[in-house]
């Protein structure tokens, strides 16, 4: 089984505009159109069984619609292969109820994006949300490190992540982008071996620059094969999850990188899907 633990799609009426804005800001080119149908086509081509959708509430008012959509998508997961997490904003009123309602409706996790939500990950509002999610046995996936679209914001840098981890010691937590986008040296010195998962999103391959631009994306260098293998060895293959950040990277290409990296068959299978299946209780 292959499970992409880090993908994004947008409603059809919004997808073109969202892809253009994000691609323009990050100077990166998308691989797919950013709709559910385009993701399903990519999954079929790449032999991906499930993709996890990670919606982000950039305003408190977006949360209700995001979560209603997530619940509706999950009703057809067996047919589509799409599993949506829920969204929550640190400024939402009654976050405990939002989390409880998501869990009651079978939503398996939430996505937090400190940079888009303009809140430090060790802020008390996030700490409460993470606590409530843990109490309800939900997965918490956090954008970790910097962000290609606004690379100077440090709401989720390693020092703040460490404070959050030391304060809560949460279970079932995933730090996206191999522990921190643009922070691989700090990750290697501080986070490897901690009781958290990493996903591989935007961490293994060079990004495709947007057309009609003279500048490459302000990207962090991807992990070399040697460094990726070192991360896996030190952190443990059982704590690494295949993720792409599709539409911004290719499911097919990232799968091939992992298969060609020199890992054992057991570790390759664990990263591509076995770990995710266990975490999702599939």
Tokens of 206: 């060079």
pLDDT, average across residues 137-156: 94
pLDDT, average across residues 89-118: 98
Helix (H) or strand (E) holding 230: helix 225-235
Tokens 């994004």 belong to residue: 8
Q: How far apart are CA 129 and CA 219, in angstroms?
A: 30
At 239 the pLDDT is 98
At 27 the pLDDT is 85
pLDDT, average across residues 142-148: 95
At 111 the pLDDT is 98
* Per-residue model confidence as pLDDT tens digits over 173-229: 999 999 999 999 999 999 999 999 999 999 999 888 887 665 555 567 899 999 999
At 221 the pLDDT is 81
pLDDT, average across residues 25-32: 89
CATH numeric code, 3-280 = 3.20.20.140
Cα three-residue angle 102-174-166, rounded to 5 degrees = 105
Distance (Å) of CA 18 to CA 9, 14, 234, 265, 270: 9, 6, 37, 38, 33
Q: How far apart are CA 27 and CA 209, in angstroms?
A: 6
At 256 the pLDDT is 98
Give every CB contact of residue 153 below 8 A, 6+ residues apart in sequence: 115, 118, 146, 147
Average pLDDT, the chain: 95
Domain ranges for the chain, please list them: 3-280
At 8 the pLDDT is 97
Give percent above pLDDT 90 in the chain: 88
226 Rama sector, left if φ>0, alpha if ψ -120 to 50, beta otherwise:
alpha
- Please answer whether residues 130 and 161 qualify as being in contact, where contact means their C-beta atoms are separated by less than 8 angstroms: no
Q: Residue 7 pLDDT > 60, yes or no?
A: yes
Over the range 175-214, which residues count as b (16 or more CB within 10 Å of their CB) and which as e?
bbbbbbbbbbebbbebbbebebbbbbbbbbbebbbbeeee
Q: Residue 127 pLDDT > 60, yes or no?
A: yes
- Please answer whether residues 74 and 84 qualify as being in contact, where contact means their C-beta atoms are separated by less than 8 angstroms: yes
DSSP 171-229: SSEEETTTTSBT-HHHHHHHTTTSS-EEE-TTSSSPPPBPTT-SS---PPPPPPHHHHH
Q: How far apart are CA 200 and CA 191, in angstroms?
A: 15
Helix (H) or strand (E) holding 53: strand 50-53
Q: Residue 166 pLDDT > 90, yes or no?
A: yes
pLDDT-derived band at 242, boundaries 50, 70, 90 = very high
DSSP 113-145: -TTTTT--TTSHHHHHHHHHHHHTT-EEEE--B
Which residue did the predictor score with more confidence, 152 or 252?
Answer: 252
At 25 the pLDDT is 85
Tokens of 39: 């993701």
At 215 the pLDDT is 53
The pTM assigned to this predicted structure is 0.96
Helix (H) or strand (E) holding 232: helix 225-235
């Amino acid at each position: 089984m292959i499970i992409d633990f880090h993908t994004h799609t947008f409603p059809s009426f919004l997808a073109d505009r969202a892809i253009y804005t994000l691609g323009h800001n990050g100077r990166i080119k998308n691989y797919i159109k950013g709709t559910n149908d385009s993701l399903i086509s990519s999954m079929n081509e790449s032999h991906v069984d499930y993709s996890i959708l990670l919606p982000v509430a950039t305003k408190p008012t977006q949360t209700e619609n995001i979560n209603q959509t997530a619940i509706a998508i999950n009703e057809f997961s067996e047919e589509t292969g799409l599993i949506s997490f829920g969204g929550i904003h640190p400024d939402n009123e009654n976050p405990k109820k939002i989390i409880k309602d998501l869990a009651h409706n079978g939503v398996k996790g939430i996505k937090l994006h400190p940079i888009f939500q303009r809140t430090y990950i060790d802020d008390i509002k996030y700490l409460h949300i993470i606590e409530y999610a843990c109490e309800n046995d939900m997965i918490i996936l956090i954008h970790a490190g910097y962000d290609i679209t606004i690379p100077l914001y440090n709401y989720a840098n390693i020092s703040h992540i460490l404070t959050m981890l030391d304060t809560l010691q949460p279970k079932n937590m995933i730090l996206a982008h191999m522990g921190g986008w643009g922070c691989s040296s700090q990750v290697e010195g501080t986070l490897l071996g901690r009781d958290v998962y990493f996903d591989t999103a935007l961490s293994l391959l060079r990004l495709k620059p947007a057309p009609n631009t003279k500048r490459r994306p302000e990207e962090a260098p991807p992990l070399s094969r040697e460094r990726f293998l070192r991360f896996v060895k030190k952190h443990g293959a059982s704590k690494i999850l295949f993720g792409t950040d599709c539409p911004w990277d290719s499911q097919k290409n990232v799968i091939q990188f992992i298969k060609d990296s020199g890992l054992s068959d057991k570790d390759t299978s664990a990263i591509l899907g076995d770990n995710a299946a266990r975490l999702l209780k599939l």
